[in-house]
Amino acid sequence: MTVADEFALEADADVRAATGAPAPRPGRRRRQAMGALKYVLLTFGALLMVLPFADTFIGALRSPADVFANPPRYFPSDPQWGVYGRVFAELPMGRWIFNSVVVTVTITVVQVATSAMAGWALARYEFPGRANAFRLVVGAQMFPFFLFVIPIFFLLRFAPLAGGNDILGQGGSGLLGTYAALVLPFAVTWYGVFLMRQFFTTIPEELIEAARLDGASEWLIFRRIALPLVRPALATLAVFAFVYHWNEFIWTMTITRTAPELQTLPVGIFLLENQFQDLDQKALQQAALAVSVLPVLVLFALAQRFFVSASMESAVK
Amino acid sequence: MRRRGAPARPGGSAPYWFLAPVFLFTGAFLVLPLGFSVWLAFTRWNPLSEPRWVGTRQFEFLLTRDDAFWGTLGNTFVFAGALVVIGVPLALGLAFVFSRARGKAAWRAIYYLPQITSFVAIAYIWQFVLDDRYGLANRLLGLAGLRGFDWLSDPTMAMVSIVLVMVWYDVGRNMVVFSAAIEGVPKDLYEAAELDGAGAWLQFSRITVPIIRPAVVFVTVTSFIGGMGFFALILAMTKGGPRGATEVTALYLYEMAFQDLRMGRASAGALILFAIIAVLTVLQFRLLRERRG
Amino acid sequence: MRRPILAALLATAPAGAFAQGGPLTLAMHYNQEQAAPLLACLDIYEDETGQAAEYRQISYGDYLQTVLTGRIGGTQPDIYHLYSIWGAQMAENGVLAEPPEEVADFVRETYGETAEAATIDGTLYGVPTEVSVYMLVSNMALLREAGYDSPPATWEELREVADAITTRNDQGRIETAGFAFADSAAGSVHPFYALLASRGGEVYSDGFSEANLDSPEAAAAVRDMAGLVEDGITDKSVDGFDFPAGGIGMIVMANWMKSSIQEGLGSLDDVAVTPIPAGEGWRTLSYAFFMGVDSQSERQDDAWALVRWLNSDASADESGVSCMGRVLSGIGALTANASDNAAMGEADAFTQPFLDALAEGRATGQPNVMQAAEIEGMMAEAIDTVLAGDAEAEAALEDLDGRVEDILFEFY
Q: What is the pTM of this model?
A: 0.85
Contact call for residues C82 and C91 (beta carbons, < 8 A)? no
Judged by CB atoms closer than 8 Å, whether chains meet at C94 and B47 is answered as no
Q: What is the pLDDT of residue B10?
A: 66
Q: State whether residue A48 sits within 8 Å of chain B by CB.
A: yes
Residue C268 pLDDT level (bands cut at 50, 70, 90): very high
Distance CA B41, CA B271 (A): 8
> Chain C neighbours among A 104-143 (CB < 8 Å)?
none
pLDDT tops 80 at residue A33: no
CATH topology classification for C22-132+287-365: D-Maltodextrin-Binding Protein; domain 2 (3.40.190)
Q: What is the pLDDT of residue A69?
A: 82
Q: State whether residue C344 sits within 8 Å of chain B by CB.
A: no
Higher pLDDT, C204 or A215: C204
Distance CA B102, CA A58 (A): 30
Please tell me the distance in Å from B249's CA to the nearest CA on chain A. Answer: 10
Q: Where are chain B's structural domains?
A: 56-292
Please tell me the distance in Å from B166's CA to the nearest CA on chain C. Answer: 23
pLDDT tops 60 at residue A287: yes
Chain A positions in Cβ-Cβ contact with residue B223 (cut-off 8 Å): 4, 7-8, 11
Q: Is A292 helix (H, G, I), strand (E, B) or coil?
A: helix
Nearest neighbour of C74 by CB, restricted to A155, A176, A271: A176
Judged by CB atoms closer than 8 Å, whether chains meet at B36 and C68 is answered as no
pLDDT tops 60 at residue C16: no
Please tell me the distance in Å from B49's CA to the nearest CA on chain A. Answer: 14
Q: Is A279 helix (H, G, I), strand (E, B) or coil?
A: helix
Higher pLDDT, A22 or C300: C300
Q: What is the pLDDT of residue B292?
A: 53
pLDDT tops 50 at residue C259: yes
Q: State whether residue B255 sits within 8 Å of chain A by CB.
A: no
β-pairing, C119-120 vs C123-124, is antiparallel
Bridge partner residues of C293 (DSSP): C79
Chain C positions in Cβ-Cβ contact with residue A275 (cut-off 8 Å): 31-32, 57, 59
Q: pLDDT tens digit string along A296-310? A: 888 787 777 666 644
Q: Which chains touch B (3 or more CB pairs under 8 A)?
A: A, C
* Percent above pLDDT 70 for chain C: 95
Chain C positions in Cβ-Cβ contact with residue A171 (cut-off 8 Å): 15-16
Range in B13-22, B99-108, C222-231, C245-254 the model is least confident about: B99-108
Q: Where are chain A's structural domains?
A: 2-17+91-265+292-316
**CATH superfamily name and code, B56-292:** MetI-like (1.10.3720.10)
Please tell me the distance in Å from A187's CA to the nearest CA on chain B. Answer: 7
> A57-64: long-range contacts (C-beta < 8 A, 24 or more apart)?
A57/A286, A57/A290, A59/A282, A59/A283, A59/A286, A59/B128, A60/A84, A60/A283, A60/A284, A60/A286, A60/A287, A60/A289, A60/A290, A61/A283, A62/A282, A62/A283, A63/A283, A64/A279, A64/A280, A64/C263
Please tell me the distance in Å from B70's CA to the nearest CA on chain C. Answer: 16
Phi, psi angles (nearest 5°) of residue C178: -65, -35
Q: What is the pLDDT of residue B96?
A: 86
Reduce the secondary structure of chain C to three states and give it as a string. Answer: CHHHHHHHHHHCCCCCCCCCCCCEEEEECCCCCCCHHHHHHHHHHHHHHCCCEEEEECCHHHHHHHHHHHHHHCCCCCEEEEEHHHHHHHHHCCCECCCCHHHHHHHHHHHHHHHHHHEECCEECCEEEEEEEEEEEEEHHHHHHCCCCCCCCCHHHHHHHHHHHCEECCCCCEEEEEEECCCCHHHHHHHHHHHHHHCCCCCEECCCCEECCCCHHHHHHHHHHHHHHHCCCCCCCCCHHHHHHCCEEEEEEEHHHHHHHHHHHCCCCCEEEECCCCCCCCCEEEEEEEEEEECCCCCHHHHHHHHHHHHCHHHCCCCCCCHHHHHHHHCCCEECCHHHHHHHCCCCCCCHHHHHHHHCCCEEECCCCCCHHHHHHHHHHHHHHHHCCCCCHHHHHHHHHHHHHHHHHHHC
Distance CA A63, CA A275 (A): 17
A 10 A CB-CB count for B1 gives: 10
Best residue in A19, A136, A205 to probe B by mutation, most B CBs within 10 Å?
A19
Q: What is the pLDDT of residue C1?
A: 33
Q: State whether residue B226 sits within 8 Å of chain A by CB.
A: yes
Nearest neighbour of A70 by CB, restricted to C60, C70, C246: C246
Distance CA A135, CA C106 (A): 67
Range in A264-268, C89-93, C148-152 the model is least confident about: C89-93
Please tell me the distance in Å from C25's CA to the nearest CA on chain B. Answer: 20
B186 to A22, A253, B189: CA distances (angstroms)? 11, 48, 6
* Percent above pLDDT 70 for chain A: 85
Please tell me the distance in Å from A270's CA to the nearest CA on chain B. Answer: 6
Residue of chain A whose alpha carbon sits nearest to that of C62: A271
> Chain C neighbours among A 74-93 (CB < 8 Å)?
90
DSSP E strands: which ranges in A88-199? none
pLDDT tops 90 at residue C382: yes
Residue C288 pLDDT level (bands cut at 50, 70, 90): very high
Q: pLDDT tens digit string along C91-133? A: 888 899 999 999 999 999 898 888 888 998 889 999 999 999 9
Chain B positions in Cβ-Cβ contact with residue A154 (cut-off 8 Å): 36, 47
Q: pLDDT tens digit string along C154-209? A: 999 999 999 999 999 878 888 899 999 998 878 899 999 999 999 999 999 878 88
Q: State whether residue B180 sits within 8 Å of chain A by CB.
A: yes
Is domain A2-17+91-265+292-316 classified as CATH 1.10.3720.10? yes
Nearest neighbour of A126 by CB, restricted to B10, B108, B258: B10
- The mean pLDDT value for A147-164 works out to 88
Q: What is the pLDDT of residue C21?
A: 58
Dihedral angle over CA of A235, A237, A239, A242, nearest 10: -130
Residue C14 pLDDT level (bands cut at 50, 70, 90): very low
Q: Collect all residues from C whose CB is shorter than 8 A from any CB in A.
A: 1, 4-5, 7-9, 11, 13, 15-16, 18, 20, 29, 31-32, 56-62, 65-67, 69-70, 72-77, 175-176, 241-242, 244-247, 260, 263-265
Nearest neighbour of B177 by CB, restricted to A12, A201, A247: A12
Q: Is A14 helix (H, G, I), strand (E, B) or coil?
A: helix
Please tell me the distance in Å from B71's CA to the nearest CA on chain A. Answer: 19
> Chain C neighbours among A 247-276 (CB < 8 Å)?
254, 257-260, 271-275
Judged by CB atoms closer than 8 Å, whether chains meet at C13 and A173 is answered as no
Higher pLDDT, A258 or B252: B252
Q: State whether residue C371 sits within 8 Å of chain B by CB.
A: yes
pLDDT tops 60 at residue C37: yes
Q: Is the dihedral of CA A235, A241, A246, A247 positive or negative?
A: positive
Nearest neighbour of B117 by CB, restricted to A15, A23, A293: A293
Q: What is the pLDDT of residue A225?
A: 87
CATH topology classification for C134-284+367-411: D-Maltodextrin-Binding Protein; domain 2 (3.40.190)
Judged by CB atoms closer than 8 Å, whether chains meet at A269 and B124 is answered as yes
Q: What is the pLDDT of residue C11?
A: 33
Q: What is the pLDDT along chain B (293 residues), one digit of tens a residue?
A: 444 445 557 677 889 999 999 999 999 999 999 999 999 999 999 888 888 999 999 999 999 988 889 999 999 999 999 999 999 999 999 988 888 888 888 888 889 889 888 999 999 999 999 998 889 999 999 888 888 888 998 899 999 999 999 999 999 888 888 888 888 888 888 888 888 888 878 888 888 888 888 788 878 888 888 899 999 999 999 998 788 899 999 999 999 998 888 899 999 999 999 999 999 888 877 776 665 54
Residue A7 pLDDT level (bands cut at 50, 70, 90): very low
Q: What is the pLDDT of residue B173?
A: 84
